[in-house]
Structure 1
Amino acid sequence: MTFYDEIGGAETIRTIVATFYAGVAQDELLRPMYPEEDLGPAEERFFGFLCQYWGGPTTYSEQRGHPRLRMRHAPFAVTHEAKEHWLTHFREGLDAAKLTPEQDAEFWAYVVRAADFMVNA
């Protein structure tokens, strides 16, 4: 059983990502980093990435290739302040998913490492 299966699969990841993007949509610092008027495509890409990362379907790589996270985010100044905003919204997503404490801790540890890695300004 993968972590993806353990946490409830696509339904759980959908909850996390939808909650995250609801926060981003209202965030004056982060929203400009998403140039598409409709956040739907970005939400779908993030959903696919997280599903694949945690052991679910490999649709993300099949459609987009290697994640190349830093390269894809390079056009945007990801500051420490932006990272903190991003983490705030992701925390809301994890809270909405109601994972077990152990699952939450594992997911959160990954998210914090990833957020730290993305800071480029």
Structure 2
Amino acid sequence: MTTTFYDEIGGEPTITTIVHRFYAGVADDPLLRPMYPEEDLGPAEERFRLFLVQYWGGPTTYSQERGHPRLRMRHAPFTVTPAAAERWLVHFRAGLDEAALTPEQDQRFWEYVTHAAQFMVNTLDD
């Protein structure tokens, strides 16, 4: 039996902690909040949680419900600047800090989200 990174970090409860803390920061962020048109951030939080669960080796509910992630396409309607990516990382860092992963787990997760944030940038002008 293979242990996934999802299992190693504590599964759904850990990812839920990270994502919930992330969205608590986004809710009050003047640069990022306008990128979430829904009045309630709950649906966005759930989609992101399901995506990370699947990405790290947990259940594939995200793809079953939404199909292929197509991250750049899904973010294309929004102006994602380098400044927005940095703000995104600030809030994600808070989520990782709250999860209190081991240094190795934290580094692996952080490397992924740092790359993902840079990959989502679609506008260089702030």
Q: TM-score, normalised by structure 2?
A: 0.96
Which of these residues, 46, 55, 58, is aligned with residue 57 of structure 2?
55
TM-fit CA distance, 1:31: 0.1
Which of these residues, 92, 95, 98, is aligned with residue 97 of structure 2?
95
C-alpha RMSD of matched pairs (Å): 0.2
CA deviation vs aligned residue, 1:17-37 (integer Å, no higher than 9, x gap): 000000000000000000000
CA deviation vs aligned residue, 1:38-94 (integer Å, no higher than 9, x gap): 000000000000000000000000000000000000000000000000000000000
TM-fit CA distance, 1:103: 0.1
**1:73 and 2:99 correspond:** no
Unpaired runs of at least 5, structure 1: none
Aligned to 1:12: 14
1:28-39 correspondence to structure 2 within 5 Å = 28-39=30-41
**Percent sequence identity over matched residues?**
76
TM-fit CA distance, 1:12: 0.1
Output the amino acid matched with 1:23. Answer: G
Q: Distance in 1 between matches of 2:20 and 2:13?
A: 10
Aligned to 1:25: 27
Q: Distance in 1 between matches of 2:107 and 2:31?
A: 26
Q: TM-score, normalised by structure 1?
A: 1.00
Unpaired runs of at least 5, structure 2: none
